[in-house]
Amino acid sequence: MNQTTKFILPMISSEGMKNRFFVNKYFVGCYIGDTNKNKFNDKILLAYKFEPSITFIEFEKKLSKNPYMLQGSDYDYEEKDIVIYVFNVPKEHQEDYYLILDGKYSEISNILKLKILKFWNESEISMLYSILFKTEKIKKFWDSRNQNPILYCAENEYWYLPRLDNEIFDIDKI
């Protein structure tokens, strides 16, 4: 799971669209761009494996009701049966979006932190909570690995920086 899926996907969730709705059997990944479609940089892209079935069509209909979907912007890579859906970053999370891309997870808004935890159904004892709120658990994680987080993380953070090669969709890697 890339950092975009973990931290950015929850931005577009709602009561009827939790993690199991988005991360389903068709889910390929969540991305911040596409190597072949620069016009969709700074958006949220969801990639799914297309399946000609009633279940997939119903999923697609429900997905299209998401208020952040950029209507008429979905596109596909027919040779690999991949469909990409494009979403705007919610206005209330635009600053958070860039903080996440900079690996500043503990600096994102508390509203988004709680939304992320709820989306992934994580509690205060989880590693995800520890990443967002910089608790002792994440510090012990690095100690147990005998590694210095400064080599892998943004300054004063304890989780890996996003690697753009993992965060940008590339059909050639599928």
Q: Where are the beta strands (DSSP E) in the chain?
A: 27-31, 33-34, 44-49, 75-77, 82-87, 168-169
The predicted structure's pLDDT at residue 16: 63
- How many independent structural domains does the chain possess? 1
| 3 state SS of 104 | coil
Rg (C-alpha) for the chain, rounded Å, is 17
Query: Average pLDDT over the chain, rounded to whole?
Result: 92
Per-residue model confidence as pLDDT tens digits over 20-78: 899 999 999 999 999 998 888 889 999 999 999 999 999 999 999 999 999 888 889 98
Q: Span 114-135, mean pLDDT?
A: 94
pTM: 0.92
Give the domain extent around 113: 1-174
- DSSP string for 57-87: HHHHHHHTT-TTB-TT--EEEGGGTEEEEEE
State the sign of the Cα–Cα–Cα–Cα dihedral 172, 164, 28, 62: negative
Tracing tokens 């210095």 back to the chain, one arrives at 148
